[in-house]
Amino acid sequence: MDLLTPLSLAAVAWLAAVVARRALGIPVGWPRTIVVGFFVTSAIGSAVTSFSEFAGIVADGRIMVSMPAAYLVLSLVIAWLFVLGLTALVVLEVVVPTGTLPSPLDLLKGWKARRRRTRRYAQIMKIAVRHGLGGYLRGRRRTDPYQGATKLARSLKAALNEGGVTFVKLGQMLSTRRDLIPGQFADQLATLQTSADPEPWPEIEAAIRAALGRPVAEVFASVDPEPMAAASVAQVHAARLLDGREVVLKVQRPRARAQVAADMEIILRLSRRLERSTPWGRSLRVFTLAKGFAASLDEELDYTVERDNLRSVAATLDGGIAVPEVVDEHSSGTLLVMTRLRGTPVGAAAPVLAALGRERRAQIAHRLLSEVLRQQVRTGVFHADLHPGNVLVDEDGGLGLLDFGSVGRLDDSTRRALGMLLLAVDRDDAIAATDALIELLDRPRGLAERDLERQIGQLMVRYRTGTGTGRGGSSGMFGSLLRVVHDNGFAVPPQIAAAFRALAALDGTLALISPDVDMVGAAREQGRALMREAVEPGKVRADLEERLAGYLPILQRLPRRINHVVEDLEQGRLSFNVRPLADDGDRRFLTGLVQQIVIAVLAGSATLGAILLITADIGPMITPNIRLLAVVGGALLLIGFILALRSLALVFNHRSD
């Protein structure tokens, strides 16, 4: 018997889980159902005994009524105990829905990783509190975080810098989103650097050997153990292949991916909390930003993506700008072997630029800016992170590009809208610029187009010439345009944000190359070039032929279809069919709504009828203390209660969609 009791409890618990899922209509978690089943089973014995004596079924150890009546009453008692278990399950589903807590197996498997993540989370919270940001993370600060923005921006920069590589890169990404954050924040975050102390050479050598799958000496004649550059994710070393070619090795630090993965989970959790608990988090859609940042950072950690990006950008260059060539046979997801470019990063090239002279520097800056604009408008593939460390300049004024982990891509419709915007800027046409901007971005609700048109027109008047105000004035038009975009509630798609980010990163690089470069003038030049290309007879003819080829099947069927419509109209057979519930989602929503209404009505009717039967003073007695109508009413009340629980469970079920 002792052996059967646990088996009986387990069987009843399993049966409770099956019946609960059927009765409630939602997938209740097995662990909680089994626990509730054990408690219900344990309570049945004592409860049945007490009720039997109270109802007069058992007296002095003897059954005082007929067996069918006794079984009927006891079954009803057992059913009500089971319903109380269902009630406990519904309450648990409302308070702690299934899936919000890890399963016992997951707790057992991942306790080490969870402990490590908890320590890191506590460390991040301590950093935030130390820099005065704890109240904003917990949603307790009711003041606008933009008040005292300069001080708060400095605190945010210091906290991100102390947080490590992932948080530094998050700050750098936010620094390019001037459409979302104030200029004080963007200026402070733009100064974040990812430089770090170099990893010891033995660990880097082991990482290279693991990526190659063989000893380093079998591939390279020599590798300089002193890094050319050391960032928080990767190090760059000079090397020479066995065939004599000079190359550079971009090696991912051994623990970089694990650290980024742990930090990204924390960032996603924090962003979800901020968007749920703070008004400014909801207005900035911080969780969506965090997900986009996680996807881009994951691509940066995969060097096969960077290899493909490099080739894509190289295929779109119009000459005059060099990029490395990838050595495929020795590259992998954590090691990138590239030919070495000669030159000095712009950030450290002040002597080289000074020797070139002012006019030559202006030509170099203009060529770089024109190339980036040309890629954005015509080819759609462009380098999105041209900060001063990623642009090389040699003694002859030649340019080279490095680090292709962040590359933007624009589709045909986006490039066309961007080109139309540049054309409108060139013609000082505020109406066309407004239409192009609406086409380029996602239209917000309640957009006041006339107000937007006036704001853009004022910008064009202010920056009409693009000269005489210095490069700060010419580049200021794009910053002002971003502020207009944000003030009017536009949501900037990721690909457009990448284009803006590329121009923002390029702005600082151009300032170091030449203070005289005119960004608005270059944009006007690209607009004119695009217009010349668009109205060229050969181009117009090719576009028309391409469009007509696409419309040809429709044109061939058009006469026959017009004839059918005319005949139906003439003979009175023309009709229109409307299917308001053609979409599966609409049908599922309406079906679920009708089910909930029907269940609620049935639950209310059953409960009302049960109350009338239970309170009735007529009818035969099946025990000395209980009437037959009361038993029927109890059964009916049981049905109504189960239906009410089902309705409540469906309302609070978060996985119904």
Two tokens at 208?
Answer: 């290279």
Residue type, 598: V
Catalytic residue among 263, 385, 403, 507: 385
Q: Tell me how far CA of residue 527 lies from CA of 124, 460, 503, 572, 655, in angstroms.
A: 47, 15, 16, 54, 50
Q: Tell me how far CA of residue 328 lies from CA of 285, 554, 628, 652, in angstroms.
A: 40, 47, 86, 54
Q: Tell me how far CA of residue 338 lies from CA of 250, 330, 332, 402, in angstroms.
A: 8, 9, 12, 10
- For residue 61, is it left (φ>0), alpha (ψ between -120 and 50) or beta? left
Q: Measured between alpha carbons, how far is 376 from 396 in angstroms, rounded to an integer?
A: 27
CB atoms within 10 A of CB 356: 20
Half-sphere exposure of residue 210, counting CA atoms within 13 Å on the CB side? 12
Q: Is 129 exposed, middle or buried (0-12, 13-18, 19+ CB in 10 A)?
A: middle
Residue type, 353: L
Two tokens at 451?
Answer: 């107000």
Q: Contact 625/54 with Cβ under 8 angstroms?
A: yes
Spell out the alpha helix ranges (H) of 302-448: 303-316, 350-356, 358-374, 412-427, 430-440
Spell out the alpha helix ranges (H) of 571-627: 584-614
Q: Contact 526/374 with Cβ under 8 angstroms?
A: yes
Residue 243 catalytic? Answer: no
Helix (H, G, I), strand (E, B), or coil: what is residue 491?
Answer: strand
Catalytic residue set: 385
